[in-house]
Structures are given as C-alpha cells and as structure tokens.
Amino acid sequence: AKSSQRGSIRFYSHDLTARARERMEFRNSLRAAMTNKEFCVYLQPKIRLSDGKMMGAEALVRWQHPTRGLITPDHFIPVAEELGLISAIDMQVLSILCRYLEVWQPHLVPEQRFAVNLSALQFNHEDLVQTISDTLQQNRCGTEHLELEITEGVLLVHCEHLANKILQLKQMGFTLALDDFGTGYSSLNYLSRYPIDVLKIDRSFITDMNTSRSSQVLVKTIVSMARNLNMKVVAEGVEDEQQSALLQSYDVELAQGYLFSKPIPIEQFAQCYNLPEII
Ligand code: C2E
Ligand code: CA
Ligand code: CA
Ligand code: CA
C-alpha cells in the first residue's frame, strides 16, 4: 500500500510539474505575441433595428497563436491582466482599428461608431489618457468615430482621478459606452455622475427575454431610463427574431448579435460593407 501511495504521489507531482510548465509556456508565448504582433481584430457590426443598417461595430481581439490556432479573449485576457500586458494589447487593437478608420473615414456617416474595449485595470494607470492620445496620434486618427467600452465596475471606485480620466476622454471626443450593463451593481447614481453616452444591455437579459416576462420588464425599464438620461441603448447578444422584434417594440435603436453577424476579421468586415481595405 505504501509503495502504491508513493507512486501516486510521484504521479501527482509529475502532473503538477507538467501543468506548471504549460502555464509558464503559455505566459511566455503571450509575452512573445506582443512583439510578434499575433493579435488580430475582429469586428461585430452594430445594427440599427429600424432599417437594418450597420451603424458601426465593436472590436474584439483574437490571438492567432502559432501552434494552437485562434484563441478567444476569455482564454488570455485574464492572464494578460495578471502579467500587466493588457494595456499594450488594448492599444494594439486601437492602433489596428485606427489604421482602418483613417481610410474608411470618407465613407462613414457621422453616427457610425467603432468601439474598443478598455480593461478596468487600465484606469489604475496614471498615463491612460496619454497612452490613448499617443496611439491616436501615431495613426493620425481622430476620435469622431471612436467609442470606448468600459464596464460598470470601473465606475464603482469613484475618486477624483477616475472622474478626471473619464472627463478627459470625453473631452477628447470619444463616445463612452457602459458595457455589460445590468450585471454589475444595483447602485445607479454613478450614471448621472459620469458623461456616459451609451448603455450596452448585457446579453443575459436579452437571452432571458424569450422566456421571462421579468427580463422583458427589466429591458424596457433600462430603455426608458436611458432615454430619460439622454443615453443610447445597444442590445447585446441578439440571437433570434423574437428578441429582435421585442427590442424593436421597445424602441431600442441598436443591436448586436449572432442574428445579424458573428464577429468577423476586420478585412472581411471591410469587404462585407464595401469599405476600403488596407494593402
Ligand atoms: P464583451 O465586451 O461583452 O463582448 C461580447 C462578447 O459576446 C464577444 O465575445 C462576442 O463574440 C460575444 N457575442 C456577440 N454576439 C453574441 C451572441 O449573439 N451570442 C453569444 N453567445 N455571444 C455573442 P468574445 O469576442 O469572446 O469576447 C469576450 C470578452 O473579452 C468581451 O466581452 C470583452 O470583455 C473581452 N474582450 C474582447 N476583446 C477585448 C479587447 O480588445 N480588450 C479587452 N480589454 N477586452 C476584450
Ligand atoms: Ca464590450
Ligand atoms: Ca458586453
Ligand atoms: Ca462580457
């Protein structure tokens, strides 16, 4: 019994070593991905429900790993945050988007907005605003078609620094969107304290609308609150006609989801919407 126990311990520790080695390799390859520019940008269109027009898109990062193939953000963003790489990744995404916007600009209508996600951690950085403004300048890109998505959690720790950063970004001309709205916290007074332009209703509410009357009421309530606060609403994760019809009946202006399109590579997005490509 003793020897078999020892054997199992040896097996266990071997297993741990293998896992630890794999974790380390993943981390190293994530660091290398920065320098090798292995991140690419997918865009998911935002659709105006009244006429089906594309009114912009959300940029979603993907990692084109040399051996593992395409990796979605849920698998590497948390690690990137831990390693302090998230800011650099977000700026690579913004850079790529900016390069496209520069050539798309003459073909866009003023209301079209292209959004990037900002990790909540970025708001701890003193130089967030400077970093963003440098990235824009490097790509000779203005803010008129750009939107920044931040999560509710960011607004919870209210301090002067945060308010300043948000105000500065707003003054630079960005549209500001609150992502995953409704999943965070019950306190809503921060909504009037910050210059938020757009509420993105979290996918979970949209999913539940088909079966839950109370989710319908919640969505309707968010829509009327947004209207009273002069904010726009985007419904996330719209997957079927029933949801789309309900949202239209609530006068939700914009929707995003698999019903209209999955996120697609930015080059493909350009082709799809007759926008110039970058050679
Ligand atoms: P998110 O910002 O809430 O993005 C929406 C997610 O829902 C995306 O997953 C999108 O592909 C997915 N989605 C869109 N429509 C539907 C639908 O109809 N049904 C379903 N089931 N899913 C839908 P993705 O691309 O895997 O991104 C996951 C999360 O990773 C994002 O959630 C965002 O929090 C984060 N993320 C993505 N790109 C970036 C980035 O460049 N920077 C940072 N900091 N975070 C990012
Ligand atoms: Ca988002
Ligand atoms: Ca979201
Ligand atoms: Ca989310």
For 36-89, how does the pLDDT look when each residue is reduced to its tens digit (9 = 90+)?
A: 999 999 999 999 999 999 999 999 999 999 999 999 999 999 999 999 999 999
Is any ligand 1 atom within 6 A of the Cβ of residue 153? no
Average pLDDT over the chain, rounded to an integer: 92
Give the distance (Å) from ligand 4 centre to CA of residue 47: 18
Q: Which of 210, 214, 255 is nearest to 232 (CA)?
A: 255
- pLDDT band at residue 2 using 50, 70 and 90 as cut-offs: very low
Q: Please tell me the pTM assigned to this model.
A: 0.94
The per-residue pLDDT for 156 is 76
Phi-psi region of 268 (alpha: psi -120 to 50; beta: other; left: phi over 0): alpha
CA of 7 to the centre of ligand 1 (A): 44
What is the arithmetic mean of pLDDT over 255-279?
Answer: 96
Assign residue 46 a region (left: φ > 0; alpha: ψ between -120 and 50; beta: otherwise). Answer: beta
- Bridge partner residues of 151 (DSSP): 179
Confidence of residue 1 (pLDDT cuts 50, 70, 90): very low
Closest atom of ligand 1 relative to the 263 alpha carbon = 11
Quick one: pLDDT at residue 163?
87
Q: Which atom of ligand 1 is nearest to the CA of 42?
A: 25
Residue range 168-182: mean pLDDT, rounded: 96
- Model ipTM over 0.95: yes
Q: Can you give the pLDDT at residue 185? A: 67
- Return the ligand number nearest the Cα of 45: 1
Biggest alpha carbon distance in the chain? Answer: 77
